Structure 1
Amino acid sequence: MSDPSVPEPDFAASQLPQLPGGILRVATYNIHKGVQGLGPARRLEIHNLGLAIEQLDADIVCLQEVRRSNRREAAYFDRWPLVPQAQYLAPEGYEAVYHTNAYTRHGEHGNALLTRWPVLESRHEDMSDHRFEQRGLLHACVQVQGTAVHTVVVHLGLVPGSRVRQVAQLQRYIRREVPEDAPLVVAGDFNDWGNQLSQMLAGFGLLEHGGASPVFTYPSRLPVARLDHVYARGLVPLSLTVPRGRIWWRMSDHLPLIAEFRL
């Protein structure tokens, strides 16, 4: 029995993570539904992805093409996780937020956010521009050392006109749902060949770190383009990197992108 004269420790405060040097590390990764290859040659990569995401050591991980369920693949693979992929991929101590974008014949998939910081609230908005592509945004407000950082995870369409309309919708959503003085991160797979959306995003304050050398994420085996981006407003961009090595291009058709910011 505890001594009432001794104050109880504040476990909530003591267990909160620290932000070394005030640097916020954000990663975005299209995981290709945790499976690589086609037909009988396809292989399950979700277990390797779980280890890889832990190695990213990011404060916030934004994921696209995350399966909540898929009955066909669950029957095909012996080691298919018993829990949804977002929950399975979350490292110990992280909170997982997920919302479905697309419903298919065998299941559903969407965007997810994993974070070592407390999630204050989360929302979803449908961004489908036509009936052939089901798209959406996931918005989570994360409390980082007492500061509410708004993070929006997106996976934009394959059609150029759709992407332009989806960025315009994103702008309206931010104006409606995110305070002007709040730090904001927008990350994901923009499908933006040639970086054509950056001017539109800069028009409402979203900027990305501009390094001296290009950073490519797609296709993962021999990357020649960057379809994945991490834009921010109200944060100072410090760096933008992509991990290299055979293990990374085996797990997905995209490479993860890691951005660091100063609060």
Structure 2
Amino acid sequence: MRARHFSSSRFAPPSTQFTANTLRVATYNIHKGVRGLGVGKRLEIHNLGLGIEALDADLVCLQEVRLFHQREALHFERTLLGWPEGGQADFLAPEGYDVAYRTNATTKHGEHGNALLARWPLGDVYHHDVSDHRFEQRGLLHVPVLWQGIEVHVIVAHFGLIHSSRVRQVDRLAQYLAAQVPGEAHVLVAGDFNDWGERLDAPMHERGLHRARTGVPARTFPSRVPLFTLDRIYTRGFRCVSTHVPRGAAWARMSDHLPLVVELAPD
């Protein structure tokens, strides 16, 4: 079944809507809102909320987002600000943004997955399992977004740690798009691709998805000394106008990844 199109009666314009002619998209692996180990473990989810609001993006694609985690909630319940009530996606969404979340991985104490925060109306929310083996639970979050009268199919992805798994996940992504998204539709696929060797651009290109970049690819990992371009956005029907990676001590503290922000214009 293909993703549903929008009904004007169902989706009212959000209060944050504005008429810029470029779509500002961010992708960010938030490391479940926690950094450090043992006695040095610290809760960063409150700082992440401020950081995400400062990105001022139309669409924020997040990976490693907690819906709940009983052990972490107990560990941080007595800290100054405490573990937030409810899921991290809803907690992180700036005022006026819509939220979509789906679980990728279920663990002993909780679960985590991908999320989309959007200042534009969202359509139906879909999830597609692309796990390649039993040791890694991976999935795609798919949400159509109505931007400036254009239906944009947003896929939030978090690919595996093994190259052969990632190649197969590219194939499953392409099969999913062919089955669920109209061929003429605008598409963006954003996330953490774990592509250390820069080897996924070619197979993505062969399937009609082109990496959003201007000049040298933006390095986002590790956050303190970024050397690798693990976080990316691939598109169909857009051209990239600009890219930006926020840097500094605050960003380096909040996650092991830095966010990638791109400005896109429709072809």
TM-score (norm 1): 0.93
User: Is contact 1:121–1:142 with CA below 8 Å preserved after alignment?
Assistant: no
For 1:130 and 1:12, how far apart are their aligned partners in 2?
41
Structure 1 moving runs of 4+ over 6 Å? none
Deviation at 1:209, TM superposition (A): 3.1
1:52 aligned to 2:55?
no
Which of 66, 89, 93 is 1:90 aligned to?
A: 93
User: Is contact 2:14–2:119 with CA below 8 Å preserved after alignment?
Assistant: no
Unpaired segments ≥5 residues, structure 2: 1-10
Distance 1:249 1:169, change over 3 A: same
Deviation at 1:235, TM superposition (A): 1.0
Corresponding residue of 2:161 = 158
Matches for 1:1-263 after TM superposition, within 5 Å: 12-13=12-13, 15=15, 17-20=17-20, 22-78=21-77, 79-263=82-266
Distance 1:14 1:98, change over 3 A: closer
For 1:209 and 1:95, how far apart are their aligned partners in 2?
24
For 2:15 and 2:154, how far apart are their aligned partners in 1?
22
| Paired residue secondary structure (2:61) | strand
For 1:12 and 1:136, how far apart are their aligned partners in 2?
29
Question: Any idea what the Cα deviations from partners look like across 1:69-103, whole Å, max 9, x if unmatched?
Answer: 00000000020001100000000000110000000
For 1:16 and 1:51, how far apart are their aligned partners in 2?
17
| Paired residue secondary structure (1:174) | helix
For 2:64 and 2:88, how far apart are their aligned partners in 1?
10
Q: Identity across aligned pairs (percent)?
A: 56
Alignment RMSD (CA, Å) = 1.3
Corresponding residue of 1:4 = none
Unpaired segments ≥5 residues, structure 1: 1-10
User: Is contact 2:13–2:120 with CA below 8 Å preserved after alignment?
Assistant: no
Aligned length in residues: 252
For 2:44 and 2:261, how far apart are their aligned partners in 1?
20
Distance 1:196 1:122, change over 3 A: same
Deviation at 1:213, TM superposition (A): 3.0
Q: Which amino acid aligns with 1:55?
A: A
Q: Which amino acid aligns with 1:17?
A: Q
For 1:174 and 1:102, how far apart are their aligned partners in 2?
22
For 2:14 and 2:215, how far apart are their aligned partners in 1?
40
Deviation at 1:12, TM superposition (A): 3.7
Q: Which amino acid aligns with 2:76?
A: F
User: Is contact 1:66–1:86 with CA below 8 Å preserved after alignment?
Assistant: yes
Question: Any idea what the Cα deviations from partners look like across 1:112-148, whole Å, max 9, x if unmatched?
Answer: 0000000011100111100000000000000112111
User: Is contact 2:145–2:152 with CA below 8 Å preserved after alignment?
Assistant: yes
